[in-house]
Structure 1
């Protein structure tokens, strides 16, 4: 999947009804690449999600490492939320990940108002995990 968060913003703006936006989110999830079976384990499972969610990362070494993510969920709508999170964070440098205003993104998309509390908590758990990893990676990276 190579959709950008800007494309998602544009597509959301085009869709007037939340029913259409939910279908779009589900379609985003359906477009995710296959998630590796060996990464469906406790180490990759995101805690705090009602649905099962897995995130796997690949870190490119360097002074400000780039982190690429892949993810999956057993729920269609949550898998779409995973796709949005990946569009927001995957392929970025650790410092960029830490600078992203996730709450602002959720508000801009309207997700903060239209998700059930459980899904919103799960989404925040994914974001928290990614930010914690980025902070750890940034801290461990060699100085440039």
Structure 2
């Protein structure tokens, strides 16, 4: 699913209960991280649910940043899958220039999440930026 398809699907759903189901479904399609990557170094700090994020550079020219995420709950896995959509197939520099608020603001996601879930998603975005900065130096 790309960003445009996501926007269209969200607009078609009548309420947040259905949207949460769709978000959980997104998480169900995300591959699990291998156990050896579920480390403290990869853990997203300030997230109530145990969640992890890794990234590596693709072999493309220019190299794209490839994210892999995992979490203990299906909703958080889905939220991570959703939040990572705008960064798919982008170089580290493009990731740093991407404003996820432009996408998620119109969806009303922020108002639909509890304060603790919002804090976790902000921590995810912070970690995305950290990884993009780290990999921009090596790209």
> 8 Å contact 1:69–1:91 — kept in the other structure?
no
Per-residue deviation, 1:50: 0.5
**For residue 98 of structure 1, what is the aligned residue in structure 2?**
96
Please, what is the CA RMSD of the aligned residues? Answer: 1.8
Of residues 79-88 and 45-54 in structure 1, the stretch that sits farther from structure 2 once superposed is 79-88
Matches within 5 A, 1:62-101: 65-101=63-99
Runs of 4+ in structure 1 deviating by more than 3 angstroms, as ranges, are 60-65
- Alignment partners' CA distance in 2, 1:61 and 1:128: 25
Per-residue deviation, 1:34: 2.5
- Alignment partners' CA distance in 2, 1:8 and 1:21: 10
Closer/same/farther in 2, CA of residues 37 and 99 from structure 1, 3 Å limit: same
Runs of 5+ unmatched residues, structure 1: none
Q: Could you state the TM-score of these two structures normalised by the residue count of structure 1?
A: 0.88
Residue-pair matches, total: 139
State the SS of the aligned residue for 1:135: helix
Per-residue deviation, 1:76: 1.6
- Alignment partners' CA distance in 1, 2:120 and 2:49: 8
**For residue 107 of structure 1, what is the aligned residue in structure 2?**
105
Q: Could you state the TM-score of these two structures normalised by the residue count of structure 2?
A: 0.90
